A and B are shown apart, each in its own frame.
Chain A
Amino acid sequence: MLLVTAGWAFAGEAGIKALSEQSKALSEQNIEKIFATSKADFKAEFVQIKTLASLNEKIKSSGRTSRSGDRLVWEVKHPSFLKVTMTSQEIVIDTGESKPEVFKLSDSSTFKGPMLGLSSLLLWLNPKAKEISEKFQIYQRGERSFTAKPLMESSLGLIEFTTDKGRRIQNFVFKEKSGDEIEITFKYKSGQ
């Protein structure tokens, strides 16, 4: 299992190295162009596949998401109800039974750290070119496919994403250094 994990990590690093050699990171202006039409509010359905490298297991979940201004709602319907509401200040996790759990982003208290993966989702689904360019280097792989490499040391290895014709994120893959991976595919509601 260690070999699998190491293999994933190595593949990620090697990919980044190859990217850096072949192409230049996109400028803030170019990033702005990529997400030009993604700034509008939206509603979408998603299918998400989480790969646990240590167990070599894929967990599939599905649900719907919506963004209204600075507020992103991530509602998992399957395998169980789970609603995550994200703003730039906090993440609220509601399982539908007990009191929703609130993680304040301004005051990092115990165990908030692991939830930060969720907050980065907000950055990509409510994209601000300046903030993205401060945190990531983005390389264009194909016509509508991109790779983002974090500029700061973190558990995140890289992000791969593709956009649709309307320049909205269609497929999104978080690749962690541990080998864990989250792949999300969006299906936007017509007219959006």
Chain B
Amino acid sequence: MRIILRLILLGLIFCFLKPSLALENFSALRVDKSSQIFLPSTLRESVLIQNHFSVFWWNFILVEANPWQEVVTLCEGLKSISSELGNSEGVAQVECQPRPEDYKSILGAWAMDLPLRKEMPKSIHGDLQKTKALLSLAGHEMSELLLNDPLQTWHQLRDLFQMERRISLSKKDGIYLAGDKALLPIKMSFPPDNTNRTMKLISSLPQNIQLLGPHKSYLENENVVMSDVKKVGLASTLSFLGLTLFFAFSRRIHLTALIVPILFSVLVSSYVVQWIYGSIHGLTLAFGSGIIGLALDYGLHGALGSESKHTWTSNALGFLTTAVGLIVLSFSEIPLLRQMSLFGLMGLSLGFLLMYFLLSKFTRFFRVEPLNVPPRIPFGLSLTLVCVIAGVCGLSFSEPNLSMKRLSFESSNTLGKLFLNQAPLLRFHYSLELDESVRELQWARENQVAVENLAVYLPPLREQERNIATWKDCHRGFSSPQDRKLFGNHVLSLCLAKPRSRSPYVEHLISSLGPGDSHLSLFWPKDSIEDNMIREKFKDARSLQDITSVVPKTLKAELGWMFPLSLILVALTLGYFERRFLPVCLALLPFFTGLGLVFIFNWGLGREFSFITLVGLVMMFGFSIDYGIFMNDVYRGEENFKKVVSALVFAALTNLAGFAPLLTAEHPVLKDLGVALFFGTLGSFIGAVGGIPAIAARFQRLGYGAK
């Protein structure tokens, strides 16, 4: 009967293990792969910029300049599939060997909007004669341009659109050169977060090209997240197989059954998170392996201490302190961390309840004999002291790198250095009112600063109306039927112009995807002096780098209260149950040893101490205190040393098995979490099993442990 039950359990484990560790393949589960979830609400603007303003949809193709004919063919090929209105290929514009027909609709709209910008010139009919003279010797393309724009307004638009002022590169045959490579600016007709379309476009391009820019960065980030999820999933499977083998060889195979409720909890939590957020992020899903390790501690402690009534009280206290860490984490401004916290809290709570239910109902089945552990860890106290000193020093002197770049995988940061003289400065205007844009333009002209905003292209509506009024009778006075035939229709349209605040040539600066229409002003400083000048005049002018650097400051402030609050809340919770100072300090000891070991390994491996490392430590704060609580029970005479240490060995092993896969990840978020949680577990174990017995033994002489 016992054998049959074990076989059923192993079957169940297998059934749950497979789908849970490959959750991203679960058809009902919508896995989010974007990097937007890293960004706190203070950074929404930057997401909005990249996805909603098409001025940021430019990418750059780098291709070997030799043989040149291949570059020309690539340029022609891209032009043949480009469409300003968007098409299935997704190429809106390509900046190489420019021709008027590439800008047909924009040039057409610009020419038709002349009455919005200027009063009717008195010499309009003389100007048309000049155009006729030019038309007489122009080629077909030029003729088409002149017939659609007989007052030759395209000169001004060309000057406004010239990318030369932004790209400091030489040209050959109308194609930019960057060293021995040709550079082809390519504008997509879809936002960077549409990675499926980016992938499709890249697959249609030749193999030897290199794409740089926002679209490629999004795709790269997503690919790394998904490859990490797969890698972590595989490593988790191997870790749990190893753990199962360990249980099998130590004749405790039935303990693997404890994985079933944990996997069930992960599965349920995944669906609940999806129900709340609409999807679950790949990183949250990968984080499931860590949650499994956390919740299993209570089951293992319960199985080893099944004879003691106090075991589940300690488990409950441990759960409470871990939950405190996760609840504090849920106040983070980073949506990903909030989602992870919710996921962890739900998984942990459900796991805890299921464990309690299982171990209460099947007490005899799960009962295990403790390991034959030695009464003391050699050098336990010395190791503990080294770790504590390292932890305190690290907390005092280590300066974490809280840059947002650590939250995102990006291999193409060289783009800016490639050709931009100075990063542009941005200003947002949350309406289509032009008054502020006009002020910007006026100031920029007075100070000879390059600016691109709506006022550059369109005057305010009042001025437009004044200008249009002067064009009322513009169609009169044609001297010949030929002039009427050549230019009549166009001029008549000019007479009928109407004021407007949007036009194809300003669409790249306008977003209507947000709550309302908003527009963007772009200043292009030549150097740092001009950059400072713009910032002084317009206090809210910021570069994209400025926007992302707001986050580290916010996060630093966040940590300033997150860590002390967690410490105070946990100390209060422990104090409430323990009623004495020393057990509270001892329960906190494993956290400080864990912290110390993380610092030691970070210094040793030359790794930076990132925001994510700190977040990992907040989580470690929860489970390391569990270890302290369990060990405290021994010195209160409520638990057996061997049983508690055995439970901690199993718990630490499951944690290590859960967190080790994260060390294999390439994404900085997962890697930093892996380092913090793996070495944090190890350090916590040293503090709990090596430090607490040694310190408690000294205090026992002073009466500690006696109730």
Chain A interface (Cβ < 8 Å from any Cβ of B): 48-50, 52, 54-55, 57, 59-61, 74, 76, 78-82, 84, 93, 95, 101, 107-118, 155-156, 176-178, 180, 182
Pick 10 A–B contacts, CB within 8 A, sort by A.
A49-B136, A57-B486, A59-B135, A93-B134, A95-B130, A107-B170, A109-B174, A111-B99, A114-B99, A180-B143
- Does B37 interact with chain A (Cβ within 8 Å)? no
Q: A114 and B133: CB pair below 8 A?
A: no
Question: With contacts A108-B173, A111-B154 known, is A82 near B130, CB below 8 A?
Answer: yes
List residues of B (31-45) whose CB comes within 8 Å of A's CBs.
none
Q: What are the residues of chain B within 8 A of A115 when measuring CB–CB?
A: 138-139, 142
Q: B136 and A113: CB pair below 8 A?
A: no
Q: A80 and B129: CB pair below 8 A?
A: yes
Q: B174 and A61: CB pair below 8 A?
A: no
Q: A155 and B129: CB pair below 8 A?
A: no
Question: Quick one: CB contact mask for B152-194 with A, threshold 8 Å, 1 for yes?
Answer: 0011001001101000001101100000000000000000000
Q: B133 and A180: CB pair below 8 A?
A: no
For the complex of A and B, the 4 pairs showing the least CB-CB separation, nearest first, are A114-B142, A117-B139, A80-B129, A61-B136
Distance of B73 from chain A, by nearest CB (Å): 12
- Does B482 interact with chain A (Cβ within 8 Å)? yes
Question: With contacts A55-B485, A59-B132, A79-B132 known, is A74 near B137, CB below 8 A?
Answer: yes
Distance of A59 from chain B, by nearest CB (Å): 5
Partner of A52, one of B126, B129, B143, B161: B143
Q: A108 and B141: CB pair below 8 A?
A: no
A176 to B139, CA, bound (A): 8
Distance of B669 from chain A, by nearest CB (Å): 43
Residue ID in chain A nearest B99 by CB atoms? A113
- Does B77 interact with chain A (Cβ within 8 Å)? no
Q: What are the residues of chain A within 8 A of B392 when measuring CB–CB?
A: none
Q: B486 and A55: CB pair below 8 A?
A: yes
A52 to B137, CA, bound (A): 11
A50, A57, A80, A93: which has the most chain B beta carbons within 10 Å?
A80
Q: A79 and B141: CB pair below 8 A?
A: no
Partner of B136, one of A50, A112, A116, A178: A50
Distance of B481 from chain A, by nearest CB (Å): 10
Q: What are the residues of chain B within 8 A of A80 when measuring CB–CB?
A: 126, 129-130, 132-133
Partner of A113, one of B129, B141, B161: B141
A55 to B150, CA, bound (A): 15
Distance of B627 from chain A, by nearest CB (Å): 69
Q: What are the residues of chain A within 8 A of B130 when measuring CB–CB?
A: 80-82, 95
Distance of B28 from chain A, by nearest CB (Å): 52
Question: With contacts A57-B486, A110-B98, A111-B158 known, is A180 near B134, CB below 8 A?
Answer: no
Distance of A180 from chain B, by nearest CB (Å): 4
Residue ID in chain A nearest B123 by CB atoms? A97
Q: A114 and B145: CB pair below 8 A?
A: yes
A49 to B170, CA, bound (A): 39
- Does B403 interact with chain A (Cβ within 8 Å)? no
A117 to B141, CA, bound (A): 10
Distance of B20 from chain A, by nearest CB (Å): 57
Q: What are the residues of chain B within 8 A of A79 when measuring CB–CB?
A: 129, 132-133, 136
Q: B486 and A110: CB pair below 8 A?
A: no
A80 to B480, CA, bound (A): 14
Q: What are the residues of chain B within 8 A of A54 when measuring CB–CB?
A: 144, 147
- Does B100 interact with chain A (Cβ within 8 Å)? yes
Residue ID in chain A nearest B163 by CB atoms? A110
Q: What are the residues of chain B within 8 A of A113 when measuring CB–CB?
A: 97-100, 141, 174
A166 to B154, CA, bound (A): 43
Distance of B378 from chain A, by nearest CB (Å): 76
- Does B2 interact with chain A (Cβ within 8 Å)? no
Q: B137 and A76: CB pair below 8 A?
A: yes
Residue ID in chain B nearest A57 by CB atoms? B485
Q: B140 and A176: CB pair below 8 A?
A: yes
Q: B98 and A76: CB pair below 8 A?
A: no
Question: With contacts A50-B135, A80-B133, A93-B134 known, is A108 near B140, CB below 8 A?
Answer: no
Q: What are the residues of chain A within 8 A of B164 when measuring CB–CB?
A: 109
Q: B133 and A82: CB pair below 8 A?
A: yes
Q: What are the residues of chain B within 8 A of A76 when measuring CB–CB?
A: 133, 136-137
Question: With contacts A80-B126, A80-B132 known, is A108 near B100, CB below 8 A?
Answer: no
Distance of A6 from chain B, by nearest CB (Å): 14
Partner of A117, one of B129, B133, B138: B138
Residue ID in chain B nearest A5 by CB atoms? B140
A57 to B487, CA, bound (A): 12
Distance of B236 from chain A, by nearest CB (Å): 55
Q: What are the residues of chain A within 8 A of B155 when measuring CB–CB?
A: 101
Q: A111 and B133: CB pair below 8 A?
A: no
Residue ID in chain A nearest B146 by CB atoms? A114
Q: What are the residues of chain A within 8 A of B170 when measuring CB–CB?
A: 107
Q: B133 and A81: CB pair below 8 A?
A: yes
Distance of B199 from chain A, by nearest CB (Å): 31
Q: What are the residues of chain A within 8 A of B98 when measuring CB–CB?
A: 109-111, 113
Question: Quick one: CB contact mask for B217-256 with A, threshold 8 Å, 1 for yes?
Answer: 0000000000000000000000000000000000000000
A60 to B99, CA, bound (A): 26
Q: B137 and A118: CB pair below 8 A?
A: yes
Q: A114 and B137: CB pair below 8 A?
A: no
Question: With contacts A50-B135, A82-B130, A110-B158 known, is A155 near B173, CB below 8 A?
Answer: no
A84 to B136, CA, bound (A): 12
Q: What are the residues of chain B within 8 A of A116 when measuring CB–CB?
A: 139
Question: With contacts A55-B485, A79-B129 known, is A117 near B142, CB below 8 A?
Answer: yes
Q: B173 and A114: CB pair below 8 A?
A: no
Q: A60 and B141: CB pair below 8 A?
A: no
Distance of B5 from chain A, by nearest CB (Å): 79
A79 to B129, CA, bound (A): 6
A183 to B130, CA, bound (A): 19
A81 to B100, CA, bound (A): 25
Residue ID in chain B nearest A83 by CB atoms? B133
Q: What are the residues of chain B within 8 A of A109 when measuring CB–CB?
A: 98, 162, 164, 171, 174
Q: What are the residues of chain A within 8 A of B174 when measuring CB–CB?
A: 108-109, 112-113
Q: What are the residues of chain B within 8 A of A112 when measuring CB–CB?
A: 174
Q: B133 and A155: CB pair below 8 A?
A: no
